[in-house]
Structure 1
Amino acid sequence: MSRNKLLAIIISTLALLSGCQSMADEATIGIAGRVVNADRSIIILNASLNGSGVSGSGGDECCMSIPAKWKPGMTATLSWTKDPSPDINPDGKSAPVIKNGISTPEWKAWMANHRKNYRTIEKTIPLPKYGETCGVTFVFLPCDDARVILDCDERYRLFRTLPGGKDHYPELIRRMGGRAVCQ
């Protein structure tokens, strides 16, 4: 083996090891995740932060991993898969009726075509400051706008006094600085 090849292998190995070492030094904590979908025209199928995620079914799910301590300048990759037209296929056909909760061959064929609608979106975001965390709350707003809440006090401030009924999501969108109508 030539000296240059050997040197390249050594440098590559050291670079990989130093990357692993820096990740090993980063203490993490396991927390629950939850999806809040304020865009009633879509369905969120799943969401993740740096590859650690939850389904879009609602409620707390365990477990995600985040750095134990927030530091200024931290960023994360926020990724989600959405169904932008829950009841219509790319060919314009509506979902067949399911009787007695049993999937028919027609429904299975419709669903196979329907999955072509799904869209995955990925954004790098600044990781919001957190102290005490009550888990990751993914909030999906209209216009493919998404936010992440990690801090307990922030989550409490945003959700504590939300009205019920038809004003719930419009008020959440307003509080989070989102747009109700896309341009």
Structure 2
Amino acid sequence: MKINRMLKACFAFLMVLVAGCAKATDTASSAANISGINHVAGQTVNSFTVNGYGGTLTGNSCCIMLPDQWRPGLKANIEWEVDPDAYASLPPLGTEEYRKAYVQHAAKYQQHSAVVDIPKYDQACGLTVHFLTCNQIKVTTSCYGYGAPEYPVKEPLNMKEPASCPVK
């Protein structure tokens, strides 16, 4: 009888401890789509990731976990690959000449990365990465679509790379 009562007391104490720890570290997050918009003329973004989650320039891809409530210091680690000569002329597909030319072309792909702040949001409607000239990026969680007056990123599409980029 004493052992049973003691086990119940230990179990209750353990539950209080676990509940207290869960509340101290628990933050609600939701899955959000990842999309990208390339603003640079003549350059293709082959692939990109946000905090390790893959994104796409052709619609939305699922998913990244974003806190339901924004907090200061929220960051996005973006990694991307660029084809700086997206319109290169290659021999006919499927030929040996094509394979050789493609290997030389792909060797010119560029790898980039940046860590950026995720801007304050009341509601995250996904994460959109904007690829800008000089290998700069901006991110937004806006619920509006690109081009809407309320959309926070205003840079135009088909921007030309400047003759020289600012030194980072």
TM-score (norm 1): 0.63
Where structure 1 has 5 or more consecutive residues not aligned to the other structure, the ranges are 1-20, 89-93, 162-170
Q: Which amino acid aligns with 2:86?
A: P
Q: Which is helix-richer, 1 or 2? A: 1
Identity of aligned residues (%): 25
1:127 counterpart = 2:118: yes
Partner of 1:62: 62
Residue among 115, 123, 127 paired with 1:136: 127
Partner of 1:45: 46
Are the equivalent residues in 2 in contact too, given 1:32–1:63 (CA < 8 A)? yes
Q: Which amino acid aligns with 1:141?
A: L
Superposed, 1:109-120 pairs within 5 Å as 109-120=100-111
1:31 counterpart = 2:27: no
**Secondary structure in 1 matching 2:91:** coil
Superposed, 1:159-174 pairs within 5 Å as 159-160=147-148, 172-173=154-155
Deviation string for 1:31-84 (max 9, x for gaps)? 11111111012100112221112134x211222222332101222212211111
Residue among 132, 142, 148 paired with 2:139: 148
Change (3 A) 1:173 1:97: farther
Change (3 A) 1:160 1:182: farther
Change (3 A) 1:26 1:55: same
1:71 counterpart = 2:52: no
Offset of 1:182 from its aligned partner?
A: 5.0
What stretches of structure 1 move > 4 A for 4+ residues in a row? none
Change (3 A) 1:115 1:174: closer
Are the equivalent residues in 1 in contact too, given 2:33–2:61 (CA < 8 A)? yes
Q: Which amino acid aligns with 1:95?
A: L
Q: How many residues align?
A: 137
Change (3 A) 1:109 1:49: same
Change (3 A) 1:105 1:60: same
Give the alignment's Cα RMSD to 1 decimal. Answer: 2.8
Structure with more contact order per residue of length (Cα contacts < 8 Å, sep ≥ 6): 2
